[in-house]
Amino acid sequence: MEQDKMSIRAAVFDGNPEGTLTVEALQLDEPHHGEVRIRVRAAGVCGSDRHVLDGEWQVPLPAIMGHEAAGVVEAIGPGVRSLDIGDHVVIAWHQACQRCAECTGGKPWACTRAKSNDSLLPDGTTRWHDVDGPAYPYLAVGAMSEAIVVPEFAAIPIDRRVPFDVASLIGCSVGTGYGAVVNNARVVAGESAVVIGAGGVGLSIVAALKLAGASPIIAVDVTAQKLESALEAGATHAVLGGESLAAEVSDLTSGGADVAFEAIGRTQTMSQLPSLIRPGGRAVFVGLPPEGQPLEIDGLQLAYEGKTLIGSNYGGLVPARDFPRIATAYLAGLLPLDDLISTRISIDQVNEAFEAMRLGKRTRSVIVFDDDAAGTTERDR
- Among 51, 103, 168, 342, the one annotated catalytic: 51
Residue 172 annotated among the catalytic residues of the structure:
yes
- Cα 104-105-110 angle, rounded to 5 deg: 90
State how beta strands 237-240 and 217-221 pair. parallel
Is residue 307 within 8 A of residue 274, CB to CB? The reply is yes
Give 346's Cβ-side CA count (13 Å radius).
Answer: 5
- Among 119, 172, 173, 229, the one annotated catalytic: 172
Collapsing DSSP states into helix, strand and coil, what is residue 138? helix
- Among 48, 145, 168, 229, the one annotated catalytic: 48
Terminal alpha carbon distance of the chain: 51
Collapsing DSSP states into helix, strand and coil, what is residue 140? helix
Which residue type is seen at 53?
L
Rounded distance between C-alpha atoms, residue 100 and residue 341, angstroms:
36
DSSP symbols for 238-255: EEE-STTHHHHHHHHHTS
Which residue type is seen at 116?
S
- Among 67, 119, 145, 229, the one annotated catalytic: 67
- Among 46, 145, 168, 365, the one annotated catalytic: 46
Rounded distance between C-alpha atoms, residue 128 and residue 136, angstroms:
7
Query: What Å distances lie between residue 307 and 167, 228, 255, 279, 280, CA to CA?
Result: 35, 30, 14, 6, 5
Residue 46 annotated among the catalytic residues of the structure:
yes
Rounded distance between C-alpha atoms, residue 219 and residue 231, angstroms:
8
Which positions ≥6 away from 48 have C-beta within 8 Å?
57, 67, 139, 172, 288
Rounded distance between C-alpha atoms, residue 174 and residue 178, angstroms:
6
Collapsing DSSP states into helix, strand and coil, what is residue 13? strand
Residue 33 annotated among the catalytic residues of the structure:
no
* Cis amide linkage into residue 216, ω under 30° from 0: yes
Residue 237 annotated among the catalytic residues of the structure:
no
Residue 275 DSSP symbol: G
Q: How far is C-alpha 83 from the chain's CA centre?
A: 23
State how beta strands 217-221 and 193-196 pair. parallel
Residue 271 annotated among the catalytic residues of the structure:
no
Rounded distance between C-alpha atoms, residue 374 and residue 338, angstroms:
10
DSSP symbols for 148-178: EEEEGGGEEE--TTS-HHHHHHHTTHHHHHH
Residues with a catalytic annotation lie at 46, 48, 51, 67, 172
